[in-house]
Structure 1
């Protein structure tokens, strides 16, 4: 006889059904690509992203704006900020592309990544601040931070990390044509870990917070200016100041090597006046050199062959001790 009795669902069946309903809401993040640069008045709040990076692709979820747990990629020109926090889970600026700080105030982006060859620019008059939970520079090559005009200072409070293959970060603030502290880039996160070279092409690179400039080297060009508001030490780093470039020497700075105005600086510790009297360095290289209280210390970094010789001697000593015992 056919049994038409309906069985009640078990607890296990109900739990499985609930789980199946819940799964679609987990891990639904997708990657959206910027369609194009957009007009001058556009920003990251506009619906200019799609799954395939074309104007005909499906729009971003619901409103067409960045949001949710989705990842966003700028591989199509310039992406401009707005007065709101970037709503996506992450933002990547591809090589050759730009994140332009347009909003007068603070723009916040979490999980921000720049590929080598990309850049940050201040795109409008007035000071701008970039914040977030992290700014990573990835790949091989260089990265650039620039203003493009005067009165466009940039402050970055995000923690900056960089791959060891990022050789240098170029700083190009203002178009004065001579060293000035009025056009600056200020790094305020004390946990920054960049270990390459800060190449100061124009304007001021300002380390207002201890650790803000990482453990790095510095190349100050004829229109560049360097100011660290804390004692800095990198015994493997290099300081190069080209004739015309300037340094605020009011802290204790330590490097493995230094060349100032074309003159190599021998190992030792020197004030601005001692650099002038010992090596003939123009006092105009240093801000307020006459009253400067800072110093530059140059340590002798052994050549690789010296390390090899030392290792060999240690090895020989170990063998001799073993034989005696």
Structure 2
């Protein structure tokens, strides 16, 4: 008798693979009508989702060149996960539809050598703006840039906003705020800095629920820097209040940080390397010296 089971299994495998395939960007490579991030026709398998980890949206090189993908409405990133790489950019124009500021929620955006360029200046940008049980997460990795042209960027209002920066740069033309100070604001909004640069004209950390759960966090061994474009900015008061921490420790010490005001009109905060880091560096230098001597002798 004809055995259908292998064919049935093959068909089911194909259907499963197709259903769970990531959706990749196939739209325009430059600003144009076909660069709309919210148009399903610009994606290989329709719009991304965040309900299925295997259906994230990937924006990378198209035809060997970086692409610029346009966000046409302020809700285009909601409820979808994206990864941007290869020098490609998600761009938000100043004419963004649905005004009152750039906002998104219930989404994860990961930049792996990609860019987020927000030109909108009509209001504050909010990461985690509207109500949702899931956090809104921005991951910034090496070679990536985030640029906000508006007056302020806030992490968290009606849902959590979290940034994990492992390299690259995050620049705000105005204030970097952690938690919007407004009715119903949720707790647990955190900016985690492991490496890279953060630059803003001001820093504000709010505590609407009085639970001290919103803060700027230097991870253990962080090589990142936080620069505020103000002379002699008072970082010490933020650290003493638990609003700037090391490894989530609300009792972090100001003496563990380095404050640099050598550049006029700005103040930069970074971690003082741990003694072990100095020892490692000294060991590397010593090893390099030994290898150099051996090469000179054998020459």
What is the rounded CA distance, in whole Å, between the counterparts of 1:161 and 1:27 in structure 2? 27
What does the per-residue CA deviation read over 1:154-193, in whole Å, with 9 as the maximum and x for residues that have no partner? 3254333343x23x6333232xxxxx5xx32436757643
1:256, distance to aligned residue in structure 2 (A): 4.2
After TM superposition, the score normalised by the length of structure 1 is 0.52
What is the rounded CA distance, in whole Å, between the counterparts of 2:284 and 2:231 in structure 1? 43
Q: Which residue in the other structure is 1:54 paired with?
A: none
What is the rounded CA distance, in whole Å, between the counterparts of 1:297 and 1:46 in structure 2? 43
Q: 1:154 to 1:16 in 2, by over 3 A?
A: same
Unpaired runs of 5+ in structure 2? 61-65, 129-134, 180-187, 206-213, 246-255, 287-299
Q: Which residue in the other structure is 1:272 paired with?
A: none
After TM superposition, the score normalised by the length of structure 2 is 0.55
Q: Which residue in the other structure is 2:202 paired with?
A: 225
Q: Which residue in the other structure is 1:91 paired with?
A: 57
Answer yes or no: is 1:47 the counterpart of 2:41: yes
Secondary structure (helix, strand or coil) at the match of 1:108 reads coil
Q: Which residue in the other structure is 1:238 paired with?
A: 225
Report if aligned partners of 2:202, 2:230 keep a CA contact under 8 Å in 1.
no
Q: Which residue in the other structure is 1:134 paired with?
A: 108
Secondary structure (helix, strand or coil) at the match of 2:78 reads strand
Answer yes or no: is 1:170 the counterpart of 2:146: yes
Give the superposed CA RMSD: 4.7
Report if aligned partners of 2:192, 2:217 keep a CA contact under 8 Å in 1.
no
1:202, distance to aligned residue in structure 2 (A): 0.2
Q: Which residue in the other structure is 1:113 paired with?
A: 83
What is the rounded CA distance, in whole Å, between the counterparts of 2:24 and 2:284 in structure 1? 51
Number of residue pairs aligned between Structure 1 and Structure 2: 230
Q: Which residue in the other structure is 2:26 paired with?
A: 33
* 1:189-200 paired onto structure 2 within 5 Å: 192-196=163-167, 198-200=169-171
Secondary structure (helix, strand or coil) at the match of 2:103 reads strand
1:109, distance to aligned residue in structure 2 (A): 1.0
Secondary structure (helix, strand or coil) at the match of 2:41 reads coil
Q: Which residue in the other structure is 2:263 paired with?
A: 262
**Structure of higher RCO (CA pairs closer than 8 Å, 6+ residues apart):** 2
Q: Which residue in the other structure is 1:4 paired with?
A: none
Report if aligned partners of 1:106, 1:128 keep a CA contact under 8 Å in 2.
no
Secondary structure (helix, strand or coil) at the match of 1:47 reads helix
What is the rounded CA distance, in whole Å, between the counterparts of 2:35 and 2:196 in structure 1? 38
Report if aligned partners of 2:163, 2:192 keep a CA contact under 8 Å in 1.
yes
Answer yes or no: is 1:307 the counterpart of 2:277: no
1:113, distance to aligned residue in structure 2 (A): 0.6
Unpaired runs of 5+ in structure 1? 1-8, 52-59, 61-65, 73-84, 175-179, 264-280, 286-295, 314-325
Q: 1:128 to 1:216 in 2, by over 3 A?
A: same
Q: 1:215 to 1:32 in 2, by over 3 A?
A: closer
What is the rounded CA distance, in whole Å, between the counterparts of 1:27 and 1:89 in structure 2? 11
User: Which structure has the larger Rg over C-alpha atoms?
Assistant: 1
